[in-house]
Chains A and B, each alone.
Chain A
Amino acid sequence: MSGTHEEAIGAALNRTLEMFAAVCADPDNRELAGTADAALAELSRLLRAGGAEGAVA
C-alpha cells in the first residue's frame, strides 16, 4: 500500500469519526446521515482497493 493510499485511508477514517460525532449531535438529520454513510462507504472503498484491513487502526 502506497503512502498516499495510506494517507487517504487515514483521512477517510477521520472523516467517518467526525461524521459519527455529527450524527450523534443531530440524529434525525437525514442529509447528515447520508453524508456520514457516504464517508464510511468511501473508507470501505479505499480499503478494498488497497487490499489491506488488519493493520490500519
Chain B
Amino acid sequence: MASTVIAAEPVLAAIQEFTQADNPSAFLAVSGGNSYFTLPSRPGVIVYRRSGRFLVQFGGPFAPPESYRDLLTAFVAMAREEGLEVVAVQLQRADARAYATAGFTVNQIGASWAVGLADFSLRGTRFMQLRNKVSRSFRAGLTVVETTDDRYYPWLREIDQVWLRGKGEHARPMEFLIGQYGDAMQPYRRMFVGLIDERPVGYISYSPVYGSRAGWMHDLSRREPSRVPGIMEAINVTAIEKFRAEDVAWLHFGFTPFTGIQPENELPDHDPGFHQFMRVLWTHGEAVYPARSQLAYKEKWAPDLVIPEYVGFLGGASVAGFAHIFRACNAF
C-alpha cells in the first residue's frame, strides 16, 4: 500500500542520494507543509501539495532509475482513484522527457540560473555598478555575519512582515516553491544576516544543492526598506567570498517562472498555446509574478548557466492546472 505520511528526514536522504535530475531547488522538498508519496520497499519519494482537485507535484520523483517510473505510475493511479488531477512543476529536463513518455503534456515554465564560483570575480566594467552599491552599503555601516543563532529569527520575521506589508494589503506569504528558515531543517541551510548598528536589516538564506552541480542556492531573502543601497548585494558578496574559500563550485539563484522561455527548450509534443501563454506572462505578467525584477537581480551576477524548467500536465495543458500551482503556493 502506498504511503503519504512520512517524516522529512527520509525525504532529505532521497534528495541527497537520488540526484540524477539535478534539481537545484530539491531542498524545497523538505519544507514544512509538503505531502509525500512513497511505495513500500521501493526507494524514492514524490513531493506534492493538494490544491482543490489538483495534486501539485514539486519536481519529478526523487528516486533511482529503477523505481522512478513505478513511483510516478502509482502516484498517477492514486490520483485517478481519488478523482484528482496531477500537475508537476519544476521538472528538470530529464524529468520532462520521462513525463512526456508517461502521457503528460510538458512545457517549459521558466528557468533557474547559476553562477560557477571557481573563476568568479567582481572585477571589470560589468560589475562596476554592483561593486559601487556594495561599497556604499559597507560605508553606511553594514556588516554581514553568517549565523546559526536562532535569536535572530524574531528580527528576521519582523523584516518578513514589513516586506509583506510593502507588497500591498492583499499580499500573502508564498509557500511550497519558496524557501523557509528556522525549522527542523535549518541545520542544513546557511543564514547570512546584514546588520546596521547591530540590528538585522536583511538576510539571505542559502539551501544546499546536491548532484553534479552541487553548491548552495540563494534561497529566501528579504530586507527592510532602507535608504542604504546594496544590502542584499553586500550579503551575497560576503557569502560568495566564503563559498569560494570553501571551494564551493556553484551558487544557484533558483527558479523564476516565465524566464528563459525559448522554443528550442521545448519538447516535441509541447503545447504551443501554453508556450505563448508563458511568453506573454514574461512580457506582461508582473501582477502574476514579478519575474522581470527577480531576473534583473539574478542577472547582476552574470549567471553562467540557464537551466530550463518544466511543467507537466496529466493529459492536456491546463489553465486550471497552472492556476493551481499558484494556489498551492498560497498566491491566492
Contacts and interface: CB of A to CB of B under 8 A. Distances in A.
B4 interface: no
B320 A36 contact: yes
Most chain A CB within 10 A, of B274, B276, B316, is at B276
Interface stretch (B214-222, B246-254, B321-329): B321-329
B192 to A, nearest CB: 35
A25 B327 CA distance: 10
Given A28-B52, A47-B272, A57-B283, A37 B277 contact: no
B280 A57 contact: yes
A37 B271 contact: no
A44 B274 contact: yes
Contacts of B326: 24
B272 A16 contact: no
Nearest to A9: B276
A8 interface: no
B172 interface: no
Interface residues of A, number: 31
Contacts of B275: 53
Interface residues of B, number: 26
B272 A44 contact: yes
B280 A17 contact: yes
A18 B277 CA distance: 11
B316 A27 contact: no
B127 interface: no
B332 interface: yes
B34 interface: no
A40 B327 contact: no
A17 B318 CA distance: 12
B277 A28 contact: no
A27 to B, nearest CB: 5
A18 B223 CA distance: 34
B296 interface: no
Contacts of B317: 37, 40, 44
Nearest to B320: A33
Contacts of A48: 272
B319 interface: yes
B319 A39 contact: yes
Interface of A: 9, 12-13, 16-17, 19-20, 23-25, 27-28, 30, 32-33, 36-37, 39-48, 53-54, 56-57
Given A20-B322, A48-B272, 11 more contacts: A16-B273, A20-B323, A23-B320, A28-B53, A30-B53, A36-B323, A39-B319, A40-B271, A45-B273, A53-B272, A57-B276
Interface of B: 51-53, 263, 271-277, 279-280, 282-283, 316-320, 322-324, 326-327, 332
30 contacts: A13-B280, A17-B277, A20-B277, A23-B323, A24-B323, A24-B326, A24-B332, A27-B323, A28-B52, A36-B318, A36-B319, A37-B319, A40-B271, A40-B273, A40-B274, A40-B277, A40-B317, A40-B319, A41-B273, A41-B316, A43-B272, A43-B273, A44-B271, A44-B273, A44-B274, A44-B317, A45-B273, A54-B263, A57-B276, A57-B283
